[in-house]
Amino acid sequence: MSEVFDERMAIKMSLIAIEKEKMRLDDRRKEMIERLREIDEEDAKVVVEQVKEEVRPTITPKEIAESVYQIILTLNGGEAVLLDDISNVLNEQYKGVDQASLRDSLLNVLTKDKRIKKARRGFYHIKG
Protein backbone atom coordinates (compact mmCIF):
# COMPACT_ATOMS: atom_id res chain seq x y z
CA MET A 1 0.00 0.00 0.00
CA SER A 2 2.85 2.30 0.75
CA GLU A 3 4.17 1.80 -2.77
CA VAL A 4 0.83 2.85 -4.29
CA PHE A 5 0.76 5.89 -2.03
CA ASP A 6 4.34 6.84 -3.01
CA GLU A 7 3.58 6.38 -6.70
CA ARG A 8 0.37 8.40 -6.36
CA MET A 9 2.28 11.22 -4.60
CA ALA A 10 5.01 11.12 -7.22
CA ILE A 11 2.44 11.43 -10.02
CA LYS A 12 0.67 14.30 -8.23
CA MET A 13 4.00 16.07 -7.67
CA SER A 14 4.89 15.59 -11.34
CA LEU A 15 1.54 17.04 -12.39
CA ILE A 16 2.07 20.04 -10.11
CA ALA A 17 5.56 20.54 -11.55
CA ILE A 18 4.15 20.29 -15.09
CA GLU A 19 1.45 22.88 -14.26
CA LYS A 20 4.08 25.24 -12.83
CA GLU A 21 6.27 24.79 -15.92
CA LYS A 22 3.22 25.34 -18.12
CA MET A 23 2.43 28.60 -16.30
CA ARG A 24 6.07 29.72 -16.55
CA LEU A 25 6.13 28.95 -20.29
CA ASP A 26 2.83 30.77 -20.79
CA ASP A 27 4.23 33.85 -19.01
CA ARG A 28 7.38 33.64 -21.15
CA ARG A 29 5.23 33.34 -24.30
CA LYS A 30 3.30 36.48 -23.32
CA GLU A 31 6.56 38.37 -22.71
CA MET A 32 7.87 37.34 -26.13
CA ILE A 33 4.63 38.38 -27.86
CA GLU A 34 4.79 41.77 -26.13
CA ARG A 35 8.43 42.22 -27.15
CA LEU A 36 7.56 41.36 -30.76
CA ARG A 37 4.80 43.98 -30.64
CA GLU A 38 7.29 46.57 -29.34
CA ILE A 39 9.80 45.71 -32.07
CA ASP A 40 7.07 46.02 -34.72
CA GLU A 41 6.11 49.45 -33.37
CA GLU A 42 9.75 50.58 -33.41
CA ASP A 43 10.16 49.36 -36.98
CA ALA A 44 6.98 51.15 -38.01
CA LYS A 45 8.29 54.41 -36.51
CA VAL A 46 11.58 54.04 -38.39
CA VAL A 47 9.74 53.41 -41.66
CA VAL A 48 7.50 56.45 -41.11
CA GLU A 49 10.54 58.64 -40.36
CA GLN A 50 12.31 57.38 -43.49
CA VAL A 51 9.25 58.09 -45.61
CA LYS A 52 9.03 61.60 -44.15
CA GLU A 53 12.68 62.19 -45.05
CA GLU A 54 12.20 60.87 -48.59
CA VAL A 55 9.08 62.93 -49.28
CA ARG A 56 10.23 66.45 -49.88
CA PRO A 57 7.64 69.15 -49.95
CA THR A 58 7.26 70.94 -53.25
CA ILE A 59 6.57 74.61 -53.62
CA THR A 60 5.32 76.50 -56.61
CA PRO A 61 7.02 79.52 -58.16
CA LYS A 62 3.95 81.54 -57.16
CA GLU A 63 4.51 80.60 -53.50
CA ILE A 64 8.18 81.53 -53.79
CA ALA A 65 7.30 84.85 -55.43
CA GLU A 66 4.84 85.69 -52.66
CA SER A 67 7.37 84.68 -50.01
CA VAL A 68 10.09 86.81 -51.59
CA TYR A 69 7.71 89.77 -51.81
CA GLN A 70 6.83 89.41 -48.12
CA ILE A 71 10.50 88.95 -47.16
CA ILE A 72 11.52 92.17 -48.90
CA LEU A 73 8.65 94.05 -47.25
CA THR A 74 9.48 92.63 -43.84
CA LEU A 75 13.26 92.88 -43.89
CA ASN A 76 13.60 96.38 -45.24
CA GLY A 77 10.17 97.87 -45.86
CA GLY A 78 10.37 97.24 -49.61
CA GLU A 79 13.81 98.79 -49.99
CA ALA A 80 16.93 96.99 -51.20
CA VAL A 81 17.49 93.59 -49.60
CA LEU A 82 20.54 91.40 -50.16
CA LEU A 83 19.93 88.23 -52.16
CA ASP A 84 21.69 86.13 -49.49
CA ASP A 85 19.27 87.44 -46.84
CA ILE A 86 16.30 86.52 -49.01
CA SER A 87 17.80 83.09 -49.65
CA ASN A 88 18.48 82.47 -45.94
CA VAL A 89 14.89 83.30 -44.97
CA LEU A 90 13.54 81.06 -47.74
CA ASN A 91 15.78 78.20 -46.63
CA GLU A 92 14.36 78.51 -43.11
CA GLN A 93 10.77 78.66 -44.39
CA TYR A 94 11.12 75.68 -46.70
CA LYS A 95 13.28 73.23 -44.77
CA GLY A 96 13.37 69.83 -46.45
CA VAL A 97 13.11 71.26 -49.96
CA ASP A 98 16.10 70.68 -52.21
CA GLN A 99 18.20 73.79 -51.66
CA ALA A 100 19.65 73.90 -55.18
CA SER A 101 16.23 73.82 -56.83
CA LEU A 102 14.95 76.37 -54.31
CA ARG A 103 17.79 78.75 -55.22
CA ASP A 104 17.15 78.22 -58.95
CA SER A 105 13.45 78.92 -58.43
CA LEU A 106 14.33 82.00 -56.39
CA LEU A 107 16.55 83.39 -59.14
CA ASN A 108 13.87 82.62 -61.71
CA VAL A 109 11.27 84.48 -59.65
CA LEU A 110 13.57 87.46 -59.12
CA THR A 111 14.08 87.89 -62.86
CA LYS A 112 10.45 87.35 -63.90
CA ASP A 113 8.26 88.77 -61.12
CA LYS A 114 6.96 92.19 -62.14
CA ARG A 115 6.67 93.40 -58.53
CA ILE A 116 10.36 92.82 -57.72
CA LYS A 117 13.20 94.78 -59.26
CA LYS A 118 16.96 94.50 -59.03
CA ALA A 119 18.29 97.54 -57.17
CA ARG A 120 21.98 96.91 -57.70
CA ARG A 121 24.24 93.89 -57.81
CA GLY A 122 22.93 91.32 -55.32
CA PHE A 123 20.14 93.56 -53.99
CA TYR A 124 16.44 93.51 -54.83
CA HIS A 125 13.55 95.79 -53.92
CA ILE A 126 9.85 96.14 -54.62
CA LYS A 127 8.92 98.26 -57.60
CA GLY A 128 7.18 101.36 -56.48
Residue after which a domain boundary falls, among 55, 70, 88: 55
Give which of 101, 106, 104, 77 is closest to 89, Cα–Cα: 106
Domain, as residue range, for 71: 61-126
Residues 21 and 68 in one domain: no
Residues 79 and 48 in one domain: no
Q: Is the dihedral of CA 109, 110, 111, 116 positive or negative?
A: positive
- CATH number for the domain harbouring residue 107: 1.10.10
- Kindly report, residue by residue over 20-39, the tens digit of the pLDDT: 999 999 999 999 999 999 98
pLDDT in the model for residue 33: 94
Residues 34 and 80 in one domain: no
- State the Cα–Cα distance between residues 24 and 123, nearest whole angstrom: 75
Residues 45 and 72 in one domain: no
Q: Report the predicted TM-score, pTM, of the whole model to 2 decimal places.
A: 0.45
Residues 82 and 101 in one domain: yes
Q: Does 54 score more than 70 pLDDT?
A: no
- State the Cα–Cα distance between residues 11 and 61, nearest whole angstrom: 84
- Kindly report, residue by residue over 59-74, the tens digit of the pLDDT: 777 777 777 777 777 7
Q: How many domains does the chain have?
A: 2
